[in-house]
Amino acid sequence: MRVPTLAAKELSTLFTSPIAYAVIAVFMVLSGYTFTVTLIVSKQATLVHIFFQAAVQLILLVPLITMRQFAEERRSGTLELLLTAPLREIEIVVAKFIACMVVVGAMTSLTLIYALVLTVYGQPDWGPIYSGYLGLILFGAALIAIGLMISALTANQIVAAVVSLGLFGILWAIDTLASLLPHPFENWLLGLSLLAHFTPFAVGAMYLSDFGFFLTVVLLGLFLTVRALARS
Amino acid sequence: MAVLSLDGLSKRFGARLAVDAVSFDVEGREVFGLLGPNGSGKSTILRLVTGYLRPTAGRARVAGIDVVRDGFAARRCIGYVPESAPLYGHMRVAEFLAFMGRLRGLSGKGLARAVDAAVDRLALGPVRSVIIERLSHGYRQRVSLAQAVLHEPELLVLDEPSNGLDPRQIIELRGLLRQLAQNCAVLVTSHILSEIERTADRVAILLDGRLLTVEAIGRETAVVPPPSRLEALFLELTQAKAI
């Protein structure tokens, strides 16, 4: 019962500040603009452009959701309240992860209206739409896990946001650096690229390896967050 | 059996030994004061006792439970008010208390009863539905105390509870501590000698992380010394002002 209690508290914290609303609103305005423009220009019933843009928007917006999760608790001293209550670190981390996922889930699910529009006025291929949404959720989960880990390492929200943004940017575009490296280093860096693992989902090709990559990033991020909170 | 037992407890931060082999016991229904100048290791000892920090050496037991080996069970026996009395400002008082109660395993009618009891005990009735960030410092301190006693802990740990309180609030806190000690052991820190002298049954004096002495105050447990002449005058002149 403690994880739902904590997750509910995290959600109420997120939605009593304007951050969650602002993040969702900006996400919807930008993706709505892109959907309209690409639909008018290309006249194709596809959401591929939306998925790629949504991924970039998540890179920019997820740090705003995760930055305060631990940094603010540490700064205000409430982390001491939680860590001295009969709770396990993993429960605190999972609750915050769930709360952040609800926000990202709300953002992505609101874009389902575009899929609905395509269905009404055209005949979209649903395979890439299903895989694209799965990819977005996995991508968002990976970003949240990394963002939480960084937030757990500092008491300053701005530092947490900036470092998260920088790391997300590097992991997104690391494949451009990979092309400069000799074999096998090239493949190693490509293996870390968020873009390389997200692209198959966005275009309708799902591979177990990409699924495993995002799952690994999520589990590793949450594990390192728990370690960052561990009593020293 | 002692409610709290420290045995050679030490904590090192890098090259600095913040707590150096401290040993003492705190009995039930006792207010035990930790005295010392700033940086003497008082808060570090409290954080070791509550499981927020891990000791470098030695051990602490709460109700016979080792706080490192079985920290989860030990933390169930502790109520803790950190120095800054941190709270979730966006919550209402009763909502916050219910949240903290759920974290401590309370639910249903038991939770409702515990919240009501804590509200009554700490005289929080008038602000029960108020958002915490709108409360005065004195009320916030009371809310922080209320969350610490919700689950009727065997050990109540208070870090500088009189910090930031005005004279009236400090006088009320004295009575409150004695009242709380009727149900549990209280470990309280302060660097104000007179406050500890008025509330504690025994005191430990610390310097640079070392325990210098443990002394009994030498008075009846249940008695709170009356306010001094200046305090009485202050109380009389400021009677209309609530906490």
Predicted confidence (pLDDT) per residue in B54-109, tens digit: 999 999 999 999 999 999 999 999 999 998 889 999 999 999 999 999 999 999 99
Which backbone phi and psi does A53 adopt, to 5 degrees?
-70, -40
Q: How many domains does chain B have?
A: 1
Q: Which pLDDT does position B179 carry in this prediction?
A: 85
What end-to-end distance do the CA atoms of chain B give, in Å? 37
Q: Which residues contact A113 (CB under 8 A, 6 or more apart)?
A: none
What distance in Å separates residue A232's CA from the closest CA in chain B? Answer: 5
pLDDT for residue B220: 56
Residues A110-116: contacts with CB under 8 Å, at least 24 apart: A110/A24, A110/A27, A110/A28, A111/A28, A111/A31, A111/A35, A111/A47, A111/A50, A111/A54, A114/A31, A114/A32, A114/A35, A114/A47, A114/A50, A115/A47
pLDDT for position B222:
53
- Residue of A55, A12, A13, A8 lying closest to A30 (CA atoms): A55
* Closest among B61, B58, B3, B53 to B32, alpha carbons compared: B3
Nearest CA in chain B to A91: B103
Mutate to test the interface with A, among B54, B56, B70, B103 (most CBs of A within 10 A): B103
Give me the pLDDT at residue B16, please: 92
User: Is the CB of A82 less than 8 angstroms away from the CB of B87?
Assistant: no
Write out chain B residues lying below 8 Å of A232, CB-based.
Answer: 53-54
| Model-level ipTM above the cut of 0.95 | no
Instruction: Give me chain A's average pLDDT, please.
Output: 92
* Euclidean distance between CA atoms B98 and B132, whole angstroms: 14
Interface of B to A at Cβ within 8 Å reads 47, 50-54, 71-73, 75-76, 78, 80, 82-84, 86-88, 90-91, 99-100, 102-105, 107, 147
What's the confidence (pLDDT) of residue B146? 94
CA angle A78, A232, A165 (to 5 degrees): 65
B86 → closest Cβ in A17, A80, A88: A80
- CA of residue B153 relative to chain centroid, distance: 11
In the prediction, which pLDDT does B224 show?
65
Ranges of each domain in chain A: 2-229
CA dihedral B117, B123, B125, B131 (to 10 degrees): -100
Provide the CATH number for the domain around residue B155: 3.40.50.300
Residue B242 resides in a domain: no
* Residue B232: pLDDT band with limits 50, 70, 90: confident
Q: Which stretches of chain A drop beneath a pLDDT of 70?
A: 1, 232
Which residue segment(s) compose the domain that B145 sits in? 4-237
pLDDT value at residue B239? 66
| Confidence (pLDDT) at B241 | 52
Q: Give the amino acid at A84.
A: T
Contact A81 B86 (CB under 8 A): yes
pLDDT, tens digit, 9 for 90 and up, residues B8-63: 999 999 999 999 999 999 999 999 999 988 889 999 999 999 999 999 999 999 99
Separation of alpha carbons B94 and B115, rounded Å: 7
The residue among A149, A113, A133, A140 whose CA lies nearest residue A56 is A140
Instruction: List residues in chain A touching B: CB distance below 8 A.
Output: 1-2, 5-6, 9, 12-13, 16-17, 76-78, 80-88, 231-232
Distance from CA of A75 to the nearest CA of B (A): 10
Quick: pLDDT tens for A155-206.
Answer: 899 999 999 999 999 998 888 887 788 888 888 888 889 999 999 999 988 8
Work out the percent of chain A whose per-residue pLDDT is above 90: 73
Q: Which residue of B has its CA nearest to A8?
A: B99
Cβ-Cβ contacts under 8 Å, A3 against chain B: none
- pLDDT score of B235: 67
The DSSP output letter for B54 is: -
How confident is the model over B104-127, as pLDDT tens digits?
999 999 999 999 999 998 889 999
Q: Is residue B61 part of a domain?
A: yes
Residues of B in Cβ contact (< 8 Å) with A86: 72-73, 75-76, 103-105
Q: Is residue B140 part of a domain?
A: yes
**What is the radius of gyration, based on Cα positions, of chain B?**
18
How far B157 CA sits from the closest chain A CA (Å)?
Answer: 11
A96: chain B residues, CB-CB within 8 Å: none
Residue B243 has a pLDDT of 43
